[in-house]
Amino acid sequence: DQQVKQNSPSLSVQEGRISILNCDYTNSMFDYFLWYKKYPAEGPTFLISISSIKDKNEDGRFTVFLNKSAKHLSLHIVPSQPGDSAVYFCAASKWTGNQFYFGTGTSLTVIP
Amino acid sequence: NAGVMQNPRHLVRRRGQEARLRCSPMKGHSHVYWYRQLPEEGLKFMVYLQKENIIDESGMPKERFSAEFPKEGPSILRIQQVVRGDSAAYFCASSPPSRSEGEQYFGPGTRLTVT
């Protein structure tokens, strides 16, 4: 039962353009959402998070948007850089819970 | 400040052998989580531990798998009588005691191959 879904396995973007990665979830009890970035042969690295009381959180080139009514969140990277090429995982949790539920990941390639 | 450490990074076992995976959390972190990533899939939660306590093992298979986080030393994920389907990347994460920190910090993973 995949409660967090990333329907695009891969995405290619030109350097300098915007990258938009999408994530959908099914469990309305989720109230905390995160994005992780993963390079091959490494563990995921935390990127940015958002709680359900907000609809936007920004950190430098990275912005996460949350649409609770649609159970959808997205990660915007502007401008995209070749070093951003990695697999991006969306994750969700219940504030009172212990585990993160991860999506299957989107592989982003930024073309120089 | 050293990050989360996992060893070994690669582990090869024959079917029926035991696999032991170790995880040392970040300094100051008392919460440890284990996740498994099968090929082409996302990370799946297995177990959440605090020192000497298993808090949530709802994601762990009922048989052959066990985990511990002793008072001293690393957390251990133990898989007995491994089968080919256990081949995966196993990631450990840690977090500080304060839940408000939110995120979990991941180690580099142990890639288990069962032949």
- A17-33 pLDDT, tens digit per residue, is 999 999 999 999 999 99
Predicted local distance difference test score (pLDDT) of residue B40: 77
Nearest CA in chain A to B56: A98
CA distances (Å), origin B33, targets B63, B105, B109: 19, 10, 12
CA distances (Å), origin A98, targets A59, B35, B57, B94, B103: 25, 12, 10, 11, 11
- B72-112 pLDDT, tens digit per residue, is 999 999 999 999 999 999 999 998 876 555 678 999 999 99
Nearest CA in chain A to B99: A95
Report the residue from A36, A45, A98 with minimal CB separation from B48.
A98
Q: What residues in chain B have their Cβ under 8 A from chain A's Cβ atoms? A: 4, 6, 33, 35, 40-45, 48, 55-56, 58-59, 91, 93, 99, 102-109
CA dihedral (B95, B99, B100, B106) in degrees, to 10, reads 20
Predicted local distance difference test score (pLDDT) of residue B99: 57
Judging contacts by C-beta atoms under 8 Å, the chain A residues touching residue B6 are 43
Residue pointed to by tokens 């090929």? B39
- B9-62 pLDDT, tens digit per residue, is 999 999 999 999 999 999 888 899 999 998 878 899 999 999 889 999 999 999
Average pLDDT over residues A76-104: 90
CA distance A6 to A23: 5
Report the residue from A4, A44, A49 with minimal CB separation from B102.
A49
Nearest CA in chain B to A50: B102
Contact check, Cβ <8 Å, B105/A98:
no
CA distance A77 to A64: 9
Q: Label residue A94 by pLDDT band (50, 70, 90).
A: confident
Beta bridge partners of A25: A4
Q: Which amino acid is at A22?
A: N
Q: Label residue A69 by pLDDT band (50, 70, 90).
A: very high
Q: Label residue B1 by pLDDT band (50, 70, 90).
A: low
CA distance B5 to B23: 6
Predicted local distance difference test score (pLDDT) of residue B30: 87
Best mutation target, A100, A101, A106, A107, to test chain B (most B CBs within 10 A): A100
Give me A31's structure tokens. 């109230």
CA distances (Å), origin B37, targets A28, A43, A110, B58, B112: 25, 11, 25, 16, 11
